[in-house]
Every structure is written in C-alpha cells, then in structure tokens.
Amino acid sequence: MSKETKYTEDNIRSLDWKEHIRMRPGMYIGKLGDGSSADDGIYILLKEVLDNSIDEYVMGAGKTIEISIQGDKVNVRDYGRGIPLGKVVDVVSKMNTGGKYDSRAFKKSVGLNGVGTKAVNALSTFFRVESTRDGKSASAEFEKGNLTNQDTLEETSRRRGTKVSFVPDSTIFKHYKYRSEYVAKMLKNYVYLNPGLTIIFNGEKYFSENGLRDLLSDNIKEEDRLYDIVHLKGDDIEIAITHSKTQYSEEYHSFVNGQHTTQGGTHQAAFREAVVKTIREFYGKNYEASDIRKSIVSAISIKVMEPVFESQTKTKLGSTEMGGDLPTVRTYINDFVKTKLDNFLHKNTSTAESLQRKILQAERERKDLSGIRKLAKERAKKASLHNKKLRDCRIHLTDSKKDRNLESTLFITEGDSASGSITKSRDVNTQAVFSLRGKPLNSYNMSKKIVYENEEFNLLQAALNIEESLEDLRYNNIVIATDADVDGMHIRLLLITFFLQFFPEVIKEGHLYILQTPLFRVRNKKETIYCYSEQERRDAIAKLSGKPEITRFKGLGEISPDEFVHFIGDDIRLDPVMLDKEKSIEELLSFYMGKNTPQRQEFIIDNLKVELDSVEEEL
C-alpha cells in the first residue's frame, strides 16, 4: 500500500496577482505560442493594451493611436484623456482595478474585468506606463510585474494621453517573433469598427471611412462579388453582406464591442439564422438554409452592455442579452435584419435577382450531389476512427461538440513512417494525426463533387468538419507535415491547392501551417543541436569542439519519436500559410497549378538563380 501524502497548512499557498499570472498565463491570455499564429499570446498582449486606447477613442477622446514594434519591444501611444495621475501604478498592477466598472463611462467596453494590462505587466521583462494630462505626467516601470521605478509628477508640454511600452518575457513566449501581417490584420479590424480612427503602425497609416463595407472590400475582390456589398447600420449593429462567385463555403467576420470573435457566438448564430429567415420570407420560398448561405461572405458587429465571453481571450460571445431596455441578442439581430435587409432587397431588384439565381444554382448543385454526399458521409463515418486514417485527440474523442480549443492541432502527414513518428510523440490531449495515402489529387479547377468522390479529400473534410462553414472547424491549427524534399514540397502544394479551391477561409483566418523540422542533427558527447538550415548547420559545427557527428534527416520517418517530441512540443516551429492580398486566389492557383508551363518554368529558373547566388555569397 502506498504511503499517504501529508496534507497540512504548509501545503496551502496564496499567490499574489503577478505570481498567479506567470504560473497560469493560459488562464489570462489563452495559448502562448511564438507568434506564428494570430491568436498567440504576444498578440493578445498587444490587444489588451490597445483595447484601452480604443475605448478612449470610443468615448470621444483621441483620434490617433501610434504603435511601433522594433525587435521585441512594443510601444502603444494614444491621445486619449490619460490615466488619472494618482492611479498610474494601481491600474497596471492591482487586480480588478480600473475605470470600466462604472458602466456609465464604459457601458459597451471590451475590457471589463481589470485584468488585461496587469497580465501584460506580469508577463513582460520590461513594462513602462506613462500618463499625461492637465500639463503634467507620471510614469512607472516594472519587471515581471514588480515595480522598479516610479517618477513623481512633473510639468510637461506633451499632448495628453497614455503611452505603454513592454517587452514580452522570452522565458514564457519562447523564440517569439511579431509578424507584421498579423498585427496589420488586427489593426485593420480596429479601424473598420471605428471609422474616423487613425492607427499608425511602424509609419504605415490605417484608416477606414466605410466600416464593414471596407472590410469586405479588402477581403473579396470586386470581380469575385456576385453583387455589390450590402451595407446596413443601426444604433448598436452594423452588417455587410455579399456572395462570392467562386467560393463554396460560408465566411463570417463577427465582432462584439470591437472585439473580433473568431469563434462566433450567440450574435453570429443569430445573424446566420436571421439572414435565412429574411430571405425565405422575401422570396416566399422555403429554401434550404445551406443553399441561401452557400458562398456568403459577410460581417456583423454589435455593441452589448457588459458582454459575457466564454474565455478571457474573448473569442466567442456567450451573452444572450443586449443589456438595458433592449431585447435579447437573437431578437435584436433578427428584427434588424428582417427590416433593413428586406427593405434593401425590395429597393435593389438587380441584387435580389442575382441572389435568387445563386440560391437556385446552389439548390441544383446540392441535389446533383445528394447521392454522392450521402455515400461519402457513410464512408467517412465508417472510416474515421477505425482504420487509423484519423488518430484523434482526447478533447474530441470525449466530446465531439466541444468548442474548438485554441491548442487543438491536426497534423496532416504522408506515409506510415511519418504518421507513426508523430503519433507516438504527440500530445494525445490536443494533437491529432491524419495520414494521407500517396499524393493528393491536383484539385485546381475541379468542382466540389471531387471532394466527395475522392476518399482522401472526403475523409479530410469530415475530420475537419468544414463542409458548410468554418464555424464548426474541429481543430484550431491545421499543420501540413511532409518531408523537406521535392515530393514533400509537392504534397504541400497540392494540399494548399485543396484548401484554396474549396475552403479558402481556412487560410484567410490563419488556421493553416507548414511544420518545420530539422534538416540536420549535429552532436558530440555533451551536446546535440538540431539545425533547420545550412547556415545553422555551419554554426553548430563551429560551436561544437572536435569533429561532431552530423546526420542529414532525409524524411520525417527517419526522426525517432523520442526526438520528434521536441519538434511538435514547446519548441515547435510553424510557418503560417498566408495569402498575397495583391493577387486573387484564382490568379495564384492558375499560375502555380494551371497549365501555364513556360511562365512557371521561367519563374522557377529565375528564383533558382537567386537562391544559387545567395548560397555562393554565403560560401
């Protein structure tokens, strides 16, 4: 019988605010990460600081926010009212302290719980806050939440406002790097939701005059829109809608009080329902909901009194009430869409006719595919967990309807040896593995019929649960894990083509990644260094004395599970797949996957010359 563990008063600990944040950062900012994903912790830190500046603008104070990121240091300067000078230290270092508990002043604010800037403070090796108002300023500096310096009040001629500077702690956010693409997307959303606000990031200006209309304009090119963007606004709601000519699935951008709710929530569900109900009533036809919403590209923003989110990172709205004297979220959105969208369609007959043709086309396609889809779903159900095609993770095995976890990851691999290595070394709680058999089909210019007829595509679609909408995506991160050789690169390209052709929003919303694994292992008796490039290999050889052993990994299957655990664990390196905003999806697919062989051959030769010149310079 095992010896009983002692449990006394000595086992009880009380952590102060900063110790608790540093010990359990996930409770406050979601996942950590290294900056390769848009929802990684370093971006949440920036957002928490920026939300305060946005709230100042909403309250009518300060029309410009300046942001700079140089290396690992972040600066955010607003021209709002400034923190009351006697409370500069308290608002960034005392939990549940802030001005937003007074609902009269911040009744529709995002940061209601007084935690945000405290989390940034505690998780930074350097944190400085300076407030200027009434011709005076006060500042304080911290290290990991501990006050290191506090300046007394001093006279100043600087404009009023608040400036926050911080450096995320690299022991918590390992190997982190801010990616300007993710920061830019965040800032664009802020200006879409706050027309008239100017945000300057590293010298580049972001500004919007037309709110959510501009959001859709930037996300779907004019030539791909079935009809002009429908843009409707109310006191606490704004929506924008169009349908894509080429996209198959639904795409939603939803916001609450300026917060991007990437996982939707009660407002997004109500909006999807309201669109269907309104369109059915307008045409007097009981169209299938999936036919109405097929190819929809839309955005909704609402303002809620003291919103309740389902996590500290505020990615999903849980509130059912608008607050005050307003009705429920569902009723409020339904009434607005019923009135405004119905009126718009009556006044704009060409849009109404285009939309109806799209619905009828979707209906025909659905009926044509009905038999194939039924058989495909049956095959997917039988195959999903019984033939080792999908080795799921526990959060989905225990509850398939559970909200998408930010840490949930699906690795898409090719071949038994690679999938075997990842399967044995993965975190079974959050990491799943999908094993391909051979090279996927080149799906460029094919109809969605191929997704159901092709076993690999059908089972992958079923595993991800993205047939109709990204809202029910089962994994937050989809990682292509193939060998770093020509065949592996080709498989990557074919998989990216599949997503671009049928589910582009998976890439648009930042869910698709490429797994980086080491090319070399350099080691001696004392140390082992894994190298991801020729330069890293040379540096490792120079670092290790004597003649180290050098191993070239030819494929993922050659890496043992004991080693692989490092490459998909805390030290995972992911390269996000991002779209070039200057080119349409059709242009990208046509060039890389079409039959323009001479042009593509010239492109490859030109880039190969650049690569060889670079190697020669290094040598």
What CATH number is attached to the domain comprising 318? 3.30.230.10
Give pLDDT, residue 343: 96
**395 and 488 inside one domain:** yes
Dihedral of CA atoms 404, 405, 406, 410 in degrees, nearest 10, equals -80
**Single-letter amino acid code for the residue at 31:** K
Domain assignment of residue 422, given as a range: 384-517+557-582
Dihedral of CA atoms 533, 538, 544, 546 in degrees, nearest 10, equals 130
- Tell whether 463 is covered by a domain: yes
Give pLDDT, residue 388: 62
Q: φ, ψ for residue 378 (rounded to 5)?
A: -65, -40
Give pLDDT, residue 610: 45
**127 and 138 inside one domain:** yes
List own/partner pairs for 279-288 with CB under 8 A and 24 or more apart.
Answer: 279/341, 279/345, 279/355, 279/359, 281/338, 281/342, 282/341, 282/342, 282/345, 282/346, 282/352, 283/356, 283/359, 287/359, 287/363, 288/363, 288/366
**200 and 102 inside one domain:** yes
Report the CATH number at residue 72.
3.30.565.10
**417 and 488 inside one domain:** yes
The rounded percent of the chain whose pLDDT value lies above 90 is: 39
More confident residue, 568 or 380: 568
**Would the pLDDT of 611 be above 50?**
no
Give pLDDT, residue 280: 97
Give pLDDT, residue 42: 94
**425 and 564 inside one domain:** yes
**Would the pLDDT of 168 be above 90?**
yes
Give pLDDT, residue 206: 96
**Would the pLDDT of 129 be above 60?**
yes
**125 and 170 inside one domain:** yes
Beta carbons of 496 and 585 less than 8 angstroms apart = no
- Tell whether 618 is covered by a domain: no
Count structural domains, the chain.
4
Report the CATH number at residue 500.
3.40.50.670
**506 and 535 inside one domain:** no
- Tell whether 378 is covered by a domain: no
Residue whose pair of structure tokens reads 């595993």 in the numeric block: 463
Beta carbons of 62 and 53 less than 8 angstroms apart = yes
**289 and 338 inside one domain:** yes
**241 and 188 inside one domain:** no
Give pLDDT, residue 124: 94
d(CA 225, CA 227): 5
Q: Which range is least confidently modeled, 8-12, 286-290, 349-353?
A: 8-12
Give pLDDT, residue 185: 92
- The answer for residues whose C-beta is within 8 angstroms of residue 347's C-beta and 6 or more apart is none
**Would the pLDDT of 418 be above 70?**
yes
Residues 27-76 pLDDT 10s:
888 788 888 888 889 999 999 999 899 988 988 888 999 999 998 999 99
**Would the pLDDT of 223 be above 70?**
yes
**194 and 251 inside one domain:** no
- The answer for residues whose C-beta is within 8 angstroms of residue 29's C-beta and 6 or more apart is 41, 44, 45, 48, 119, 123, 312, 313
d(CA 24, CA 344): 50
Using 50, 70 and 90 to split pLDDT, how confident is the model at 608? low
- Tell whether 22 is covered by a domain: yes
Question: What does the mean pLDDT of the chain come to?
Answer: 84
- Tell whether 371 is covered by a domain: no
- Tell whether 289 is covered by a domain: yes
What letter would DSSP give residue 359?
H
**Would the pLDDT of 603 be above 80?**
no
Q: How far is CA 222 from CA 214, 217, 219, 425, in A?
A: 12, 7, 10, 46
The rounded percent of the chain whose pLDDT value lies above 70 is: 86
**Single-letter amino acid code for the residue at 502:** F
**422 and 568 inside one domain:** yes
Q: Which range is least confidently modeled, 157-171, 269-283, 467-481?
A: 467-481
Q: What is the DSSP string of 254-294?
A: EEETTEE-TT-BHHHHHHHHHHHHHHHHHHT----HHHHHT
End-to-end CA distance of the chain: 65
Domain boundary among 182, 207, 232: 207
Extended strands (E) in 424-583: 431-436, 477-481, 512-516, 520-523, 528-531, 549-552, 573-576
State the pairing for strand pair 390-391/431-436: antiparallel
pTM over 0.85: no
Give pLDDT, residue 23: 86
Which letter, b or e, does each residue of 302-324 get, where b requires 16 or more Cβ atoms within 10 Å of its Cβ? Answer: bbbbbbebbbbbbbbbebebbbe
More confident residue, 352 or 221: 352
Domain boundary among 504, 535, 552: 552
d(CA 351, CA 344): 9
Give pLDDT, residue 271: 96
* DSSP-derived 3-state class of residue 38: coil
d(CA 30, CA 242): 33
- Tell whether 44 is covered by a domain: yes
Q: How far is CA 188 from CA 64, 201, 581, in A?
A: 14, 11, 13
Give pLDDT, residue 383: 60
Residues 522-552 pLDDT 10s:
998 889 998 888 888 999 998 987 889 998 8
**Single-letter amino acid code for the residue at 245:** K
Average pLDDT for 587-613: 64
- Tell whether 359 is covered by a domain: yes
Domain boundary among 177, 207, 237: 207
**238 and 277 inside one domain:** yes
Q: How many CB atoms lie within 10 A of CB 152?
A: 7
